Amino acid sequence: MSVASEEIEELRNADNVGTLARAYVAKLRGGDVGSLPAILGLVVLVIVFSALRPDTFTKAFNFGNLIQQSAGVTIIAMGLVFVLLLGEIDLSAGYTGGTAAGVMSVALTTHDWPVLPAILVGLATGAVIGAGIGLLVSRLGIPSFVVTLATFLGLQGVLLSLIGERGSIDSGEFVAKLNSDNLPVWLGWAIAIVFVVLYAASTFLRNQRRRRNGLTNEPNLLWALKAGSLAVIAFLVVFYLSIERSPNANIKSIKGVPISLLIILGLAVVLTALLSRTRWGSHVYAVGGNAEAARRAGINVAMIKLSCFVISSTIAGIGGIMLASYSGGVNNNTGGSTILLYAVGAAVIGGTSLFGGKGRVVDAVIGGTVVAVIANGMGLLNQPDSRKYIVTGLVLLVAASVDAISRRRAASTGRV
């Protein structure tokens, strides 16, 4: 019996925490570390910055600000997961987001379009860019590195043409609120409760269905631990964000869950369901694991690649809109500078493999939080940008090394 089969059998029979812990340790020793390194790194970073800046880093105001600062990069990273799962790369994702936001802003402010059509045309711009990249990669066989590098350069020119001589375009009041406003306190609590109940119910029913069909399923104890942990984290976050965090509440009150957090979580749920609950999602993992084997199994590899690039660029469009919302408009640097590097770094740091076939959307959320905490914490310590880049680069190198080592370990234990 293989190592993986032994773990599956042990999980089926798990009826106490000790058994679950042993199965999890065996999984780690087999090379499947998932997001654990990123989570441990995040805990260490929070402890260090909390100790060095207890008067600012741990404040609710900084917590809310950190979420809004990281929203654009995290969302672009969520889209990049789809491309990385194939073992490909998209170097143009940042400027795809900037161009999509630029088109939306032109429609809003120059042509006075209503908000919804303007946002949709921005997202359609991202989808068209992704379709062009996907066709060149999947049909002509041009390496994605070359195609997206050329697209990266070209879109900088497109963005400059869009913003014109003024150097920036206003994105309007509605867009500005997406990454600066907060939900009413009661609505934040209501969404958290509904989210936890839906997660617990859907995963419980799925486990029951798989058990009836004789398929691999989670023990009830593991399900309860996951659902309970999610409830604790969700309610603590909502509680902390619901307290008054304005430096001067008499002038302006700031409390409630940021709208940007709701957008991130909503995208995470939808995209996770797309990857884990659909046949298309299983085909993405199959192509990323071994494209030739997937082709021989009858999977349309070219179509899978094309669709992943379309989704990645469309999500990048949403990320670009959030970047424009945070900065108050679109300029020649929207989606540029370190945005792409941070987004790729976020996906990899969170646990998505650069070699394809392994990764989850939630990895990008965890990795994006790590990147944001580094930038935020070092900023509060008044460290220069040079040191921020060095630390972030070192963290990315560690993440890539963990990925390479875990894949080697997984291969030696028969997991891949």
Q: Is residue 406 part of a domain?
A: yes
Mean pLDDT of 221-225: 88
Length of the chain (residues):
416
Q: Is residue 324 part of a domain?
A: yes
The residue whose two tokens read 């003024």 is: 166
With 50 as the cut, is the pLDDT of residue 40 above it?
yes
Contact 165, 98 (CB under 8 A): no
Angle at 362 between CA 361 and CA 363, to 5 degrees: 90
Q: What is the pTM of this model?
A: 0.90
Mean pLDDT of 220-227: 88
Predicted confidence at residue 250, as pLDDT, reads 79
Which letter does DSSP use for residue 164 in this model? G
Predicted confidence at residue 5, as pLDDT, reads 53
- More confidently predicted of 287 and 213: 287
Predicted confidence at residue 39, as pLDDT, reads 87
Q: Is residue 91 part of a domain?
A: yes
Contact 335, 99 (CB under 8 A): yes
Alpha carbons 284 and 86: distance in angstroms, whole number: 7
Which letter does DSSP use for residue 219 in this model? -
CATH of the domain at 81: 1.10.3470
Give me the domain span that covers residue 339: 38-184+256-413
Mean pLDDT of 261-265: 94
Q: Would you give the end-to-end CA distance of the chain in angstroms?
A: 15
Q: Is residue 237 part of a domain?
A: no
Using DSSP's 3-state secondary structure scheme, residue 20 falls into helix
The pLDDT tens digits for 270-297 are 999 999 889 999 999 999 888 889 999 8
DSSP assignments along 170-185, one per residue:
E-HHHHHHHTT-B--H
The number of domains in the chain is: 1
Which letter does DSSP use for residue 108 in this model? I
Averaged pLDDT of the chain: 87
Mean pLDDT of 138-145: 92
The pLDDT tens digits for 307-355 are 999 999 999 999 999 999 998 888 888 888 788 888 988 888 888 888 8
DSSP assignments along 240-265, one per residue:
HHHS---TTTTT----S-BHHHHHHH
Q: Is residue 212 part of a domain?
A: no
Predicted confidence at residue 1, as pLDDT, reads 47
Predicted confidence at residue 7, as pLDDT, reads 54
Residue 53's closest CA among 366, 381, 294? Answer: 381
The residue whose two tokens read 């792409």 is: 340
Long-range contacts of 294-302 (CB under 8 A, 24+ apart): 301/138, 302/138, 302/139
With 70 as the cut, is the pLDDT of residue 14 above it?
no
The pLDDT tens digits for 377-410 are 888 888 888 887 888 788 778 877 877 777 777 7
Alpha carbons 406 and 416: distance in angstroms, whole number: 11
Residue 364's closest CA among 83, 14, 118, 105? Answer: 83
Alpha carbons 126 and 67: distance in angstroms, whole number: 24
Q: Is residue 313 part of a domain?
A: yes
Q: Which residue type does 289 have? A: G
Contact 61, 68 (CB under 8 A): no
| Both structure tokens of 391 | 């630390």
Q: Is residue 202 part of a domain?
A: no
Residue 91's closest CA among 34, 28, 155? Answer: 155
Q: Is residue 392 part of a domain?
A: yes
